[in-house]
């Protein structure tokens, strides 16, 4: 066929790129023939009385026919195609009554040569978005014209085509997303079944394995083909099956959930503690179709349980020996110490005048050494006791505690000429005797660590918020260097010589331990030379709160 003259080539629509994208998206090009489209073509042919009718879709370089009657080719080149002209005016049916008389088509080889087209009527197929995809067209080799009813009917057929195309696409998309969803669900189900840490199997009513997960195969060192589709008795011996498996399976098949612990001997793992569960599996109607067997490996749990049990036993025996130790220290050591202290005093009293000054000094060393040792012993016993102490919190009136401490320390207060002042204190949750030890230690230190020649003043106060009580014991004593504020809570830590201030260095470590036993904290602030303040933090609600938050502490 001779080339198409330039005049016969249609310009491209302004929205060509968009139009082609829509054609691709609708997935209509090169699709299989469909009866609905063929019916429309037949209708167009009958309507216009033409031997040829087509549903044409104008692609980038071709016109492809979704349906055609009286025309042999499934597609033609876009150049020179009548439809390429028709889509330029999407709102109108393009009617060419006699192509020989139309400047656009007179030189077109389709007109000048076979099939010698004379008549063409094309109703554009336009999407909802206004894109003309192609036409429903009728063609004849003799001149013709269409009346307004025929024109309107052609437009109606074109609308039908676009509706069909769009509906098909919509259905395809729906099907696609439904299948994607089903695929994804399937993936999740497979993941849940396979990636579990438990061994899982589905056994049907005939005791045949229908499904096992990967971990099941790994534990038993078996291939899927060796298990799935096979009766259990092919995999384990009849006796084991009859004694250990069948009764539970039967119970599950009868609708019961069976759960128990056992040990299984796996090929690589050896004897392993497991928890076995047999669950009835039902179909959609509720009929039991088999049993799900779940094997949960609890070997590690059992091992940890064992470790825990031996730790508890160890702790119990430690606690026992600690108690023995405390008993031994408080009785067997205290007695000879008492003798040393008492008899050195007796010796000093009775033989005093007869002894040389040096002997008296030595005797005094013996007595004061013994006294110090007694003190140390008491504190040590107190500390060791705390190690094995568990508290049962009860309401403790801190005002009463402070009063008792004041009574206990009456001698020291009067000897130093000091005073102990007390603000309003709350009732807290804790162990009364232990909290009394804390207050006693803090107040005693406040009375003790004063500059020579000054009378001590100790103030006890409390501020509380929703979470914490902060009980403060403040003094105007010698103070503590900032660098030592943390260390003073360590065992045996003392900042001053014994000559200046006596003590064992255990008091504050006992206080810290008691604070911890109450799920609280103790801390100190100080201005060296001016005084110190010790704060005991006790949780307002017991006992699930643990440590004091950092911001609550100084």
Contact positions toward ligand ADP, by CB under 6 A? Answer: 441, 445-446, 449, 475, 477-480, 488, 493-496, 503-508, 532
Beta bridge partners of 203: 209, 291
Least distance (Å) between residue 373 CB and ligand ADP: 14
| For the chain, the helix, strand and coil percentages under 3-state DSSP, each to the nearest 5 | 45, 25, 30
Q: What is the DSSP string of 239-282?
A: HHIIIIIHHHHHHHHTT--EEEEEEEEETTTEEEEEEEEEEEEE
Q: 94 or 488, CB closer to ligand ADP?
A: 488
The DSSP bridge pattern shows strands 419-422 and 457-464 to be parallel
Tokens representing 227 are 């298990």
Least distance (Å) between residue 522 CB and ligand ADP: 11
Q: 80 or 446, CB closer to ligand ADP?
A: 446
Distances (CA, A) of 133 to 29, 265, 331, 450, 458: 11, 71, 108, 102, 97
Q: Helices 35-48 and 148-194: crossing angle, nearest 10°? A: 180
Least distance (Å) between residue 314 CB and ligand ADP: 30
Least distance (Å) between residue 351 CB and ligand ADP: 33
Q: 173 or 387, CB closer to ligand ADP?
A: 387
- Would the CA dihedral through 128, 32, 66, 43 be positive or negative? negative
Q: 282 or 498, CB closer to ligand ADP?
A: 498
Least distance (Å) between residue 312 CB and ligand ADP: 32
Q: Would you call 513 exposed, middle or buried from its count of C-beta atoms within 10 A (0-12, 13-18, 19+)?
A: buried
Nearest residue (beta carbon) to ligand ADP:
503
Least distance (Å) between residue 412 CB and ligand ADP: 12
Q: 45 or 523, CB closer to ligand ADP?
A: 523
Least distance (Å) between residue 323 CB and ligand ADP: 25
Least distance (Å) between residue 298 CB and ligand ADP: 48
Tokens representing 182 are 């089903």
In angstroms, the CA 402 to CA 392 distance is: 21
In angstroms, the CA 371 to CA 373 distance is: 5
Q: 295 or 473, CB closer to ligand ADP?
A: 473
Q: 45 or 402, CB closer to ligand ADP?
A: 402
Q: 134 or 477, CB closer to ligand ADP?
A: 477
Q: Which residues contact 221 (CB under 8 A, 6 or more apart)?
A: 266, 267, 268
Q: 543: cis peptide before it, omega within 30°?
A: yes
């Amino acid at each position: 066929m001779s080339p198409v003259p330039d005049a016969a080539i249609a310009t491209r629509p302004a929205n060509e790129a968009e139009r082609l994208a829509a054609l691709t998206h609708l997935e209509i090009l090169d699709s299989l023939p469909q009866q609905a489209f063929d019916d429309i073509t037949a209708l167009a042919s009958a309507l216009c009385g033409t031997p040829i009718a087509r549903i044409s879709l104008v692609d980038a370089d071709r016109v492809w026919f979704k349906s055609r009657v009286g025309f042999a080719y499934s597609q033609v080149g876009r150049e020179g195609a009548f439809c390429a002209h028709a889509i330029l005016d999407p709102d109108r049916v393009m009617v060419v009554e006699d192509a020989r008389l139309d400047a656009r088509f007179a030189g077109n080889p389709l007109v000048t040569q076979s099939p010698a087209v004379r008549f063409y009527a094309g109703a554009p197929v336009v999407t909802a978005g206004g894109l003309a995809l192609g036409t429903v067209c009728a063609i004849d080799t003799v001149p013709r014209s269409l009346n307004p009813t025929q024109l309107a009917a052609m437009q109606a057929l074109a609308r039908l085509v676009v509706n069909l195309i769009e509906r098909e696409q919509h259905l395809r998309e729906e099907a696609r997303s439904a299948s994607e969803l089903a695929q994804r669900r399937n993936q999740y189900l497979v993941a849940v079944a396979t990636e579990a840490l438990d061994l899982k199997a589905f056994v049907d009513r005939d005791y045949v394995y229908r499904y096992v997960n990967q971990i099941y195969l790994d534990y038993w060192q078996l291939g899927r083909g060796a298990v799935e589709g096979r009766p259990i008795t092919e995999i384990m011996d009849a006796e084991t099956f009859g004694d250990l498996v069948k009764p539970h399976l039967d119970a599950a098949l009868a609708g019961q959930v069976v759960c128990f612990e056992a040990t299984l001997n796996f090929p690589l793992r050896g004897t392993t503690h497991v928890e076995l569960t047999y669950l009835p599996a039902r179909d959609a109607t509720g009929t039991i179709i088999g049993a799900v067997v779940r094997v949960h490996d609890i070997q590690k749990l059992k091992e940890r349980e064992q470790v825990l049990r031996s730790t508890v036993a160890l702790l119990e025996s430690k606690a026992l020996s600690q108690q023995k130790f405390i008993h031994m220290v408080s009785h067997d050591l205290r007695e000879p110490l008492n003798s040393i202290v008492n008899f050195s005093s007796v010796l000093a009293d009775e033989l005093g005048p007869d002894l040389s000054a040096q002997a008296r000094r030595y005797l005094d060393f013996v007595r004061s050494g013994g006294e110090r040792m007694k003190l140390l012993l008491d504190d040590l016993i107190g500390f060791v006791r705390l190690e094995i102490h568990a508290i049962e919190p009860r309401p403790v009136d801190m005002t009463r505690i402070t009063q008792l401490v004041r009574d206990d320390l009456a001698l020291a207060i009067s000897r130093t000429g000091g005073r102990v002042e007390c603000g309003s204190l709350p009732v807290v949750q804790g162990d009364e005797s232990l909290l009394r030890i804390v207050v006693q230690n803090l107040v005693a230190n406040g009375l003790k660590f004063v500059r020579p020649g000054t009378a001590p003043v100790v103030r006890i106060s409390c501020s509380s918020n929703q979470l914490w009580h902060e009980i403060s014991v403040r003094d105007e004593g010698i103070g503590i260097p900032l660098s030592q504020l943390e260390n003073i809570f360590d065992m045996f830590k003392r900042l001053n010589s014994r000559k200046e201030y006596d003590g064992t260095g255990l008091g504050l470590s006992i206080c810290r331990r008691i604070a911890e036993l109450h799920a609280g904290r103790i801390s100190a602030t100080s201005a060296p030379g001016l005084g110190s303040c010790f704060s005991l933090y006790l949780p307002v609600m017991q006992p699930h709160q643990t440590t004091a938050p950092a911001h609550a502490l100084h």
